[in-house]
């Protein structure tokens, strides 16, 4: 880009912004003495204030030490509807006030007693002088010449290559941070014949346990045993397998073709994991059959294959096909037919 047309020509690049026109700089305003400059009594008063603050701070710091040992750690302080841990509160109050007083004292000292006449210091442009530039350029050239870096291109290029390739192990060594995704996101621990259990009581659910309008948070029966085996896998499995079971009046349900036998008398089961970013959805409104994700307010219509009716989610909640086993409990006909939770690139 050429600089020819700039309002400030290149030679003015180091020019100074001229502001002292049309009114010339009258110079610093005359210093107004403070009351503490004129009246020694006022100055003494200020001194007492400052040392008073410092003295009080000392007492408060000591107070915090006493509070640490004297106040039982579980005692509660109450102020009307507010309450808090007494030990923490008193220590905090003492230290906080002490720190504040030390600071306020120092500032008061500076403002009232220290000389308050403003002084001026020269400022210089950041750039180097032509002479300095010439000197450093000369020095650099000399060094570059002595190394032969520019002349011996083979050294230069091979060094650049060697240093560049060093980045590779730095990345490769991080490979074992985690396994590759593989098919992990496509599967949950739901499978054919796994019972649907209440996620608090772990009890299997019978269709007759649910009344119309009811929604139950549920999990697969094979989840709970995992907790004893491997706590981390239990959490991972739970993060994908959580479901909601809802009973809706069959006449209000609009079934998607191919899902006619996925429900039992209006009992439908959906993944609880929001298809937006994976929060467990939880707020159900009986009259509209809408369920709302509390994180980003995506709203799904459970009577209509959990399609999105509002919010940032783009896909319906995956549905789990239900059946009843020989003992009359709800079971899964199969696992989910699609990955649960938020979208990902290779999902299709």
Partner 1 sequence: MSTNTEFPGPVKWVDDRLGIAKIGKKNLRKVFPDHWSFMLGEIALYSFIILILTGTFLTFWFKPSMAEVEYQGSYSLLKGLHMSEAYASTLDITFDVRGGLLMRQIHHWAAVLFIAAMMVHLLRMFFTGAFRKPRELNWLIGFGMLFLGIIEGFLGYGLPDDLLSGTGLRITNGMIQASPVVGTYMNFFIFGGEFPGDDFVARFFIVHVLLIPGIILALVTAHLFLVVYHKHTQYAGPGRTQKNVVGYPLFPVYTAKAGGFFFVVFGITALMGALMQINPVWLYGPYNPAEVTAGAQPDWYMGWLEGSVRIFPGFESHFWGITLSWNLIIPALIVPPAFVTLVALYPFIEGWITGDKREHHLLDRPRDVPTRTGIGVAFITFYAMLWIGGGNDLIATHFNLSLNHVTWFLRFAVILGPILGFWIARRWAISLQRADQERLLHGLETGVIMRSPEGKYTEKHQPISTYEAYSITARDRLVPHEIGPETDENGVRAPRRALHKARAALSRFYYADAVQKPTTQEIEEAHEHAHDADEIHELTEDTETYREVTSDRS
Q: Which residues from 209-268 bind partner 1, rule CB under 8 A?
A: 217, 219, 227, 231-232, 235-236, 238-240, 242
Which one of 41, 151, 296, 337 is in contact with partner 1 (CB under 8 A)?
296
Which one of 91, 194, 264, 332 is in contact with partner 1 (CB under 8 A)?
91
Is 130 a residue that touches partner 1 (CB under 8 A)? no
Is 6 a residue that touches partner 1 (CB under 8 A)? yes
DSSP string, 163-191: HHHTHHHHHHTTGGGS---TTGGG--S--
Is 125 a residue that touches partner 1 (CB under 8 A)? yes
Is 107 a residue that touches partner 1 (CB under 8 A)? yes
- Pick 185 or 324: Cβ nearer partner 1: 185
- Pick 1 or 154: Cβ nearer partner 1: 1
Determine the Cα–Cα distance for residues 302 and 305; give it in Å rounded to an integer: 6
Q: Which stretch binds partner 1 (CB under 8 A): 135-143, 175-183, 202-210, 245-253?
A: 175-183
Which one of 180, 254, 258, 327 is in contact with partner 1 (CB under 8 A)?
180
The owner of tokens 């294959």 is 305
Write down the least CB distance from residue 58 to partner 1, Å. 13
- Pick 295 or 323: Cβ nearer partner 1: 295
**280, 242 in Cβ contact below 8 A?**
yes
- Pick 113 or 212: Cβ nearer partner 1: 113
- Pick 134 or 184: Cβ nearer partner 1: 184
Determine the Cα–Cα distance for residues 78 and 82; give it in Å rounded to an integer: 6
Which one of 122, 146, 260, 327 is in contact with partner 1 (CB under 8 A)?
122
**249, 240 in Cβ contact below 8 A?**
no
Is 105 a residue that touches partner 1 (CB under 8 A)? yes
50, containing H or E segment: helix 40-70
Q: Which of 325, 213, 305 is nearest to 259 (CA)?
A: 305
Is 8 a residue that touches partner 1 (CB under 8 A)? yes
What length does the chain have? 348
Q: Which stretch binds partner 1 (CB under 8 A): 100-108, 137-145, 190-198, 323-331?
A: 100-108
Q: Which of 53, 65, 57 is nearest to 96 (CA)?
A: 57
DSSP string, 302-322: GGGTTEEEESS--SPPPB--E
> First and final CA of the chain: distance in angstroms?
46
Write down the least CB distance from residue 324 to partner 1, Å. 24
Is 191 a residue that touches partner 1 (CB under 8 A)? no
Show Cβ contacts of residue 276 under 8 Å, excluding neighbours closer than 6 positions: 293, 295, 296, 298, 311, 312, 313, 314, 342
**252, 179 in Cβ contact below 8 A?**
no
Is 166 a residue that touches partner 1 (CB under 8 A)? no
Is 89 a residue that touches partner 1 (CB under 8 A)? yes
Subset of 298-337 contacting partner 1 (CB under 8 A): 298, 308, 310-315
Determine the Cα–Cα distance for residues 135 and 141; give it in Å rounded to an integer: 10
Write down the least CB distance from residue 19 to partner 1, Å. 4
- Pick 256 or 307: Cβ nearer partner 1: 307
Query: What's the token pair of residue 191?
Result: 């499978």
Number of residues that bind partner 1 (CB under 8 A): 113
Subset of 40-79 contacting partner 1 (CB under 8 A): 68, 73-74
Q: Which stretch binds partner 1 (CB under 8 A): 108-116, 146-154, 158-166, 250-258?
A: 108-116
- Pick 110 or 159: Cβ nearer partner 1: 110
**302, 290 in Cβ contact below 8 A?**
yes
Determine the Cα–Cα distance for residues 271 and 220; give it in Å rounded to an integer: 11
């Amino acid at each position: 880009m050429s600089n020819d047309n700039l309002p400030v020509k290149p030679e003015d690049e180091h020019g100074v912004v001229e502001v002292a026109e049309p009114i010339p700089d009258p110079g610093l305003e005359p210093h107004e003495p403070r009351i503490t400059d004129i009246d020694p009594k006022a100055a003494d008063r200020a001194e007492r204030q400052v040392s008073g603050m410092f003295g009080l701070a000392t007492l408060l710091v000591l107070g915090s030490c006493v509070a640490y040992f004297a106040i039982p750690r579980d005692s509660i302080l109450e102020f009307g509807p507010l309450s808090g841990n007494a030990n923490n509160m008193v220590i905090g109050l003492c230290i906080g006030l002490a720190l504040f007083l030390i600071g306020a004292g120092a500032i008061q000292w500076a403002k009232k007693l220290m000389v308050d006449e403003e002084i001026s210091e020269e400022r210089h442009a950041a750039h180097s002088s032509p002479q300095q530039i010439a000197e450093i350029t000369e020095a650099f050239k000399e060094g570059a010449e002595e190394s032969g870096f520019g002349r011996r291109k083979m050294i230069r290029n091979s060094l650049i290559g060697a240093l560049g390739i060093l980045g590779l192990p730095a990345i490769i060594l991080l490979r074992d941070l985690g396994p590759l995704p593989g098919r992990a996101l496509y599967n949950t621990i739901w499978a054919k014949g796994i019972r649907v259990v209440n996620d608090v009581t772990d009890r299997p659910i019978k269709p007759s346990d649910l009344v119309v309008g009811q929604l139950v948070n549920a999990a697969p029966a094979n989840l709970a045993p995992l907790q004893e085996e491997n706590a981390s896998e239990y959490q991972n499995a739970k993060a994908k397998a959580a479901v909601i079971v809802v009973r809706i009046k069959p006449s209000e349900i609009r079934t998607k073709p191919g899902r006619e036998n996925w429900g039992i008398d209006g009992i439908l089961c959906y993944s609880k994991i929001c298809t937006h970013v994976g929060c467990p959805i939880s707020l159900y409104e009986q009259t509209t059959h809408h369920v709302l994700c509390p994180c980003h307010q995506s709203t799904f219509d459970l009577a209509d294959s959990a399609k999105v009716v509002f919010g940032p989610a783009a896909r319906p909640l995956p549905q789990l096909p239900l059946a009843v086993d020989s003992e009359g409990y709800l079971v899964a006909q199969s696992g989910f037919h699609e990955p649960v939770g938020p979208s990902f690139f290779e999902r299709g």
